Amino acid sequence: MTLLATRTASAVVGVAALFPLLSLSACTTPTRSFAPIASVSNALVSYTAAPVEPLSATILRATRPFTDARSLDAATSCVVSAGPSAAIRFEADRFLIRIAQSDLCGTQFANREAWIAASDVNIADSAYAPSLVRVHETAGLRIAMAYHGDNIFCDTAARCRILERLYATPRCFANPSVAVVLQRAAQALHARDTSLTLKVLDCYRPIYAQERMFALVADPKWVAQPKPPRYGGHNRAVAIDLTVERNGVELDMGTAFDAFDDKSEWREDGLGITELQQSNRRVLRALMIESGFRPYDGEWWHFSLPFTVETEPKARNAPL
């Protein structure tokens, strides 16, 4: 892509003056108990659900399937054989899979689709190629996908709207150009101070996961409405959510990731947060901008790589 950023050196220079302010900025996360809370809004704005996008997958062992994502007992006595299949979506620690034509068990399910335990399914990195590539950890870059955890959209009272994983694995996939520029940003940060690391919290996000999020937080300020054809930056694999760590401890940015609070907004005057918290945000923001990313002022953690209309990637609904 012609929009790859090549300003690694300027990124190092641009944030250098901010680094002395970071020496006391690390914070720890307190122990929390979690409980579900009511959604902000269950009223979805009308839109057409995205078509499924099955990926080639492998069923690792013979297993009994389920008719839905949450049944406690297997649907039938039939057994899906190990071997090639296709994964459609992930929910409640199960994949919806399309049973192979050669497997007689498939005749017992509509469209030959059934749910099986995610631990019995493998989707290779190569299944996402060429439009998505996996981002691997390097010096200065750590992958910690927040939606692979089971406490999501939590408020300051440690109450969470989602108590199960949205992603089957903690892998970060992104548009190839995004992956390259992200690695360069991490290298620039690490070159200036080896104790600092970019911590990636979210990358590519399937449209079906976006639909579930928006059903719980129907506020486009915080969660992009899954509206075709463009959808959100994460669905197009051009957006990254991230923060900065010092020696494995997150810097204090004034709010937690996914805090649906006005203090999560970027403001030049840092209104509502301390000078130290604002200086930490400036380090992240300066690094990402000078590396080629564009910030979203509504969330201090969200950045995207700009594309032209002609080259902008399409949204994906491939399972993760």
Residues 277, 221 share a domain: yes
Residue 76 lies in a domain: yes
The model carries a pTM of 0.86
Q: In the prediction, which pLDDT does 148 show?
A: 96
Angle between helices 176-192 and 275-291 (to 10 degrees): 130
> Is residue 318 domain-resident?
no
Alpha-carbon distances, residue 241 vs 182, 199, 230, 234, 238 (angstroms): 11, 9, 19, 9, 10
Neighbours of 43 (CB within 10 A): 8
Query: Which residues in the chain show pLDDT less than 70?
Result: 1-48, 157
Neighbouring CB atoms inside 10 A of 311's CB total: 12
Structural domain count, the chain:
2
Q: Are residues 191 and 77 in the same domain?
A: no
Are residues 226 and 117 both part of a single domain?
no
Here the CATH number for the domain that contains residue 44 is: 3.30.1380.10
Chain segment 108-127, per-residue pLDDT in tens: 999 999 999 999 999 999 99
Closest CA to 319 of 55, 48, 92, 51: 55
Based on the fold, state whether residues 148 and 216 are members of the same structural domain. Answer: yes
Same domain, 231 and 155: yes
| pLDDT score for 5 | 40
Please tell me the predicted confidence (pLDDT) of residue 169.
Answer: 96
pLDDT at site 240: 98
Q: Are residues 187 and 209 in the same domain?
A: yes
- The verdict on 37 and 83 lying in the same domain is no
Question: What pLDDT is stored for residue 196 in this prediction?
Answer: 97
Q: Is residue 310 part of a domain?
A: no
Same domain, 170 and 231: yes
